[in-house]
Amino acid sequence: FLSSFLFFFFKQKTAYEISLGLVGSEMCIRDRYQRRVHGDSINLRMGKVVKCQRKGKGSIFKAYTIGRVAPAKFRNLDFAEREGYLRGVVKEIVHDPGRGAPLAQVIFRDPYHFKHRTEYFVAAEGMYSGQYVYVGKKATLSIGNVLPLSAVPDGTVVCNVEGELNDKGQFARASGTSAVVIGRSEEGDKVRIRLPSGDRKTVPAECRAMIGVVAGGGRIDKPILKAGVQWHKFHAKRHCFPRVRPVAMNPVDHRFGGGNHQHLGRPATISRMAPAGRKVGKIAARRTGLVRGGKDAKHFDMQDLKQTFYFHQSHQIAPKKKKKKKK
């Protein structure tokens, strides 16, 4: 009996028996699972779900939007605005939680019904309560007015620019940002603007824009000073702070966790078709690694390549002829 007990205790375990005993870091993403056999049916109970999987469903990871004022957008485009202008009055400048720029509450009289319409615009620098705001094709070129880009001369500083007709504002909406009208097509149906990032974009000439720069421009100049201020700043939009590095986690918490040293342990690139728990790192990366060369090397086109080739061909030094030794 003793020999049979020792043989059973010290015998080599099978893969199935080992899988039943794995816990913690050995189970990687699966913390622990139990196989419960009830007759012919087998029920599997999985372990913890990693955070990057749980964030997709929302739940506790959603931002608190209950205190938001309103979406910042232009009024709906109608005949009165396309052919003439409308006058509104700025009732007050309000703060919108989770937004860096203040909002201007503008009240318009409805041109078709006996009522008033309240709109919320992104406030431009210099707007004040009680100011008259004009929107439409025949509005004047002054701070806070909304005009189509076809009526705005080149070099004008604008903000809250529409990307498509009547989308009510898409570009240059953050605090302190602005776009510049830099040109237009010969037909006059397209207008080219320079965005705050420096990129150029072509939009239809019927798109509207507000004259001026978005208010609240010095917001990022104020120092954070302590982590509590940073936490409240991130908490307004439900961004993750403080952020824990994935390599500092356990394998149960992240794909890059675990190991005796803090290292990835696997390629950082991952397919776009990967499941949610593994879809972390450089997702569907076209290339990785350091970009070699300077700015000229990055934007090297075929014309420069041809000029360089012809230059080297014209300045090629002929090889020296070997002198024949006299016998």
Q: Nearest to residue 65, comparing CAs of 95, 94, 97, 93? A: 97
Q: Is the pLDDT of residue 237 over 70?
A: yes
Q: Is the pLDDT of residue 236 over 50?
A: yes
Whole-angstrom Cα distance, residue 242 to residue 86? 48
Q: What is the mean pLDDT of residues 127-145?
A: 96
User: First-to-last CA distance in the chain?
Assistant: 104
pLDDT at 44: 55
Q: What is the mean pLDDT of residues 169-198?
A: 94
Cα atoms in the Cβ-side hemisphere of radius 13 Å centred on 111: 14
- Highest average pLDDT, of 49-53, 86-90, 277-281, 292-296, comes from 86-90
Strands (E), the chain: 34-38, 41-45, 85-94, 103-109, 116-122, 132-136, 146-148, 157-159, 179-184, 190-194, 200-204, 208-211, 269-270, 282-283
Number of H helices, E strands in the chain: 7, 14
Q: Is the pLDDT of residue 99 over 70?
A: yes
Task: Report the percent of the chain where pLDDT is more than 70.
Answer: 75
Place 311 in a pLDDT band, splitting at 50, 70 and 90: very low
Run of H or E including 235:
helix 227-235
Mean pLDDT, the chain, whole residue set: 82
Place 46 in a pLDDT band, splitting at 50, 70 and 90: low
Whole-angstrom Cα distance, residue 67 to residue 45? 40
Q: What is the mean pLDDT of residues 189-207?
A: 95
- The CA R_g of the chain, rounded to the nearest whole Å, is 32
Q: Is the pLDDT of residue 228 over 80?
A: yes
Place 103 in a pLDDT band, splitting at 50, 70 and 90: very high
Burial label for 301, CB within 10 Å (0-12, 13-18, 19+), is exposed
Give DSSP secondary structure letters for 274-318.
Answer: S-TTT--SEET-S--S---S-HHHHT--HHHHHHHHHHHHHTPPP
Q: What is the mean pLDDT of residues 295-314?
A: 49
The pTM of the full predicted model, rounded to 2 decimals, is 0.70
Whole-angstrom Cα distance, residue 246 to residue 234? 19
Q: What is the mean pLDDT of residues 123-137?
A: 96
Task: Report the percent of the chain where pLDDT is more than 90.
Answer: 61
pLDDT at 57: 78
Which of 86-95, 142-151, 273-282 has the least mean pLDDT? 273-282
> At 324, phi and psi to the nearest 5?
-80, 130
pLDDT at 125: 95
Q: Is the pLDDT of residue 301 over 50?
A: no
pLDDT at 28: 43
Q: In this structure, are strands 157-159 and 179-184 parallel, antiparallel, or unpaired? A: antiparallel
Give DSSP secondary structure letters for 15-27.
Answer: HHHHHHH--GGGG
pLDDT at 55: 82
Q: Is the pLDDT of residue 38 over 90?
A: no
Q: In this structure, are strands 282-283 and 269-270 parallel, antiparallel, or unpaired? A: parallel
Whole-angstrom Cα distance, residue 110 to residue 118? 10
How big is the chain, counted in residues?
Answer: 327
Place 78 in a pLDDT band, splitting at 50, 70 and 90: very high
